[in-house]
Structure 1
Amino acid sequence: MRVLVTGGAGFIGSHYVRQAVGGAYPTLADAEVVVLDKLTYAGNRANLDPVAGSDRLRFVEGDICDPEAVRAVMAGVDLVVHFAAESHVDRSIMGAADFVITNVVGTQVLLQAAVDAGVAKFVHVSTDEVYGSIEQGSWPETHPLEPNSPYSASKASSDLLARAFYRTHGLPVCVTRCSNNYGPYQFPEKVIPLFTTNLVDGKKIPLYGDGLNVRDWLHVDDHCHGIQLVADGGRPGEVYNIGGGTELTNRELTTLLLQATGRDESAIEPVEDRKAHDRRYSVDITKISTELGYAPRVPFADGLAETVKWYQDNRDWWEPLKQRAALGG
């Protein structure tokens, strides 16, 4: 069996690859794993170091928007797990073009190549942000798509392309929509690694607006476990929400990070709220739980403590990234 993982040097993709090559997914026990990654600012070969010596892993540096490169790596592939994306909302607000090109055009190139190659399963990894914002309750997969940022609009567009390739060409596509991920190896522009690394360095942490925006937190290992359940047993043409079950306001999350790093509230620097900042996300995971037996397995308190410790212990991984990207407040 051959698996193509796009964006496999990024945060979530590399976790999936490490788990797949490391034997965490029985159906992939003997699979060859091919990683296609452009190595943009958020892609890092070092994320694959723990499994770099495996003869089951092949790394290809390339762009999902390049039809020839995609066609070459798609040959003989049985399963595609498509993580590659521009994903940071703030960057999409500053400039949407890269998000449209990578997330929409890149997904179209992959879908077409998968049709041409006769791929048996294609899992398109998306986000709960395509639903918009919800005041109460949780979104089922049938909720209308109402994205509010250029990032989420580009992901919603790619979701619709995936559906269209299933309906038009019969490509066995499943779409997964996850809540906010956290864990080791996450690029330090995202809130948990940014705040953690700032706090351990004695710096301020920028808290948007009133800090009362609510997010559901999902450990990256639970997310990848859910993705593999969909890869193994998800019904073609269907969408599956993957959530973590821990809803926190940004201020509550900030308080936990302050406690974990021994800092106090004087470290908080209130900043002007993000444009069109969605107030609350919450996904209903009944479908994936009922059909595929998914349940989050990492308690948030344990996962957060382990994540903070990882950043404390791995300065050599994140410090150069922050310096190059001029992050850190």
Structure 2
Amino acid sequence: MKKIKYSLLLVCSITLVGCFGSDTTSSSSVDRMIDNPTPNEIKVIIDGNELNIPAKSSVNYTFEYGKHTLSYGNQSLNFIAKPSTTNSSGLINPTQSNYYLLTTFYTTSNVSDETYDKLIAKYLNSVPVIIKGEQQELELPVKVINDVFIERQKDFWDYSVDEPYPDEVTLRGKGQFQSRKIKLFREDGFIEALKAEGLNEKVDFINEHPKFSELKKYTIPNIQLDAITCKKGREFVETQLNDWNKLFTLTGKDLALLYKQLTSSETFHTKHAIITECTKAGDSNQSYQFATRELEEAFDETNQLNFFITQ
């Protein structure tokens, strides 16, 4: 297969950007852009409400915390809108179109092409495309995503689809000479960026995605409470499971308050303090620790997200 290497060299300086969490309990909803990058108008149905989104445009929509339904074409899915433990943003992609996370480096003027190539090398991926009717590969510093819910805290970017790369940024810190930056592109914009870098052939990117029914769904772990030999540990895990199940029925600020409680430092410290008590009480098989580990693995993957798909 033919491979074309793509390298974007920007000679400039760098700025470091910080990200801070906020108190989400004062809100009862989350705003999110629903994007339509296709050449045709689409109809999306949210909780029975029809939204007609013109070609190559988007609409902003407010989702109250709680359970919702999204339908597009002949497919539907259920999802929960909730607070996240950090500031989060993103977009909703009902058409499951390809979006592109392009990595580049801003560097000082004394950085050679050879040094830049070394910096970018570990971000290169072979991306399947169609050129002149044949499947080939482009070697690009890009990640292709087509999730329905594209969230910045899962697939991080510095610049969103409607934000251009700045001409330069400010470098801070002695000895700094480069900084990695990531931009999220719609497909049309990404192809234009490739053309600007000298790619003259017509390229069609391959889009492969699962059906709505095949998407990963979030479920509460099935923990056998009777297997937890420590009484206090068993009571704590039972309370946690009951509270997490309430997230599927609560709405608005009620959901936000419960979510804050579940993800609070107090809950974390209580959970770990019980480990010591259960050990002293003779939980030699660490049944409580195994149960809480199951909870952590199930819940941690959604903590920084505003949306997750459910049954």
Q: Which has more strand, going by share of residues?
A: 2
| TM class, shorter-length | under 0.3
Q: What's the TM-score, normalizing by structure 2?
A: 0.23
Q: Which has more helix, going by share of residues?
A: 1
Q: What's the TM-score, normalizing by structure 1?
A: 0.22
Larger Rg: 2
